């Protein structure tokens, strides 16, 4: 974003390959994947990485921004669906499916100041707002409990994948099982007991 004019052809190709390689390395080796291994995987030199991104954290921010924009766009495209409950379930399924292959967990290791500087917060906030809208419509249609809030669902988004993570390789579809359990827990029917207040509106 806010790129300098007319990136040279080979530079553009290297940048694309670099982002792809970095995403793969972070997924396989976690936040500690080395810049050198990423560069090797992309078929470029270490110096070229720092030509494209000021630091490792900036590289992480770029990857995560792409994914948040993708998710936000998906949520927005579901905004007008007639069955809001199904739309919400579809969104959560798509979100979990993406996390299966592209975790964002490595983000925790990055410097928050860099994330802010790279504009991650704005993109994330936009995605959150789109999810909140889905939740509000689903609640309005009685598809989920009256006391379930938008932030609740955002917090629960990562849960199915996280639960199934220890067996993700052996049963790559297992997250569906736990998404189904969680969706059941959100349904309005049945005797329930939800203690404690909803989370504060903005996630930090």
Catalog residues that contact a copy of itself under the rule CB under 8 A. 30, 32, 108-109, 152, 155-156, 158-159, 162-164, 166-167, 170-171, 173-174, 176-178, 180-187, 189-200, 203-204
181 binds, among DNA, a copy of itself, none (CB under 5 to 8 A by kind): a copy of itself
Structure tokens at 167: 């067996």
The answer to whether 138 and 85 have CB atoms below 8 angstroms apart is yes
9 binds, among DNA, a copy of itself, none (CB under 5 to 8 A by kind): DNA
d(CA 200, CA 87) in angstroms, rounded, equals 25
Considering only residues 8 to 37 of the shown chain, the ones binding DNA according to CB under 7 A are 8-11, 13-14, 32-37
Q: Is 195 left (phi over 0), alpha (psi -120 to 50) or beta?
A: beta
List, in order, residues 6 or more apart from 148 with CB less than 8 Å away. Answer: 135, 139, 186
Residues 113, 154, 165, 29: what is their CA dihedral angle, to the nearest 10 degrees?
Answer: -20
Q: How far is the CB of 158 from DNA (least distance, A)?
A: 24
Instruction: Give the number of C-alpha atoms closer than 13 A to the C-alpha of residue 93, restricted to the C-beta side.
Output: 13
Q: How far is the CB of 35 from DNA (least distance, A)?
A: 4
Nearer to a copy of itself, 30 or 45 (CB): 30
Assess 109 for contact with DNA (CB under 7 A).
no
Tell me which residues touch DNA (CB under 7 A): 4, 6-11, 13-14, 32-37, 43-48, 50-52, 54-57
């Amino acid at each position: 974003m806010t790129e300098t004019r007319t990136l040279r052809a080979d530079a553009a190709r290297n940048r694309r390959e670099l982002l792809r390689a970095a995403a793969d390395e972070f997924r396989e080796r976690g936040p500690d994947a080395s810049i050198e291994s990423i560069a090797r995987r992309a078929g470029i030199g270490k110096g070229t990485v720092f030509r494209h991104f000021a630091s490792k954290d900036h590289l992480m921010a770029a990857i995560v921004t792409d994914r948040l924009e993708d998710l936000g766009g998906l949520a927005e495209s579901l905004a007008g669906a007639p069955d809001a409950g199904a739309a919400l379930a579809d969104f959560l399924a798509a979100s979990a499916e993406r996390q299966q292959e592209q975790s964002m967990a490595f983000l925790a290791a990055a410097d928050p100041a860099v994330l802010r500087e790279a504009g991650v917060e704005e993109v994330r906030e936009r995605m959150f707002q789109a999810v909140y809208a889905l939740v509000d419509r689903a609640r309005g249609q009685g598809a989920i409990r009256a006391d379930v809030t938008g932030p609740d669902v955002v917090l629960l988004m990562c849960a199915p994948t996280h639960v199934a993570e220890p067996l993700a390789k052996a049963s790559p579809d297992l997250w569906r099982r736990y998404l189904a359990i969680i969706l059941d827990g959100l349904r309005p029917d049945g005797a329930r007991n939800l203690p404690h207040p909803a989370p504060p509106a903005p996630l930090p």
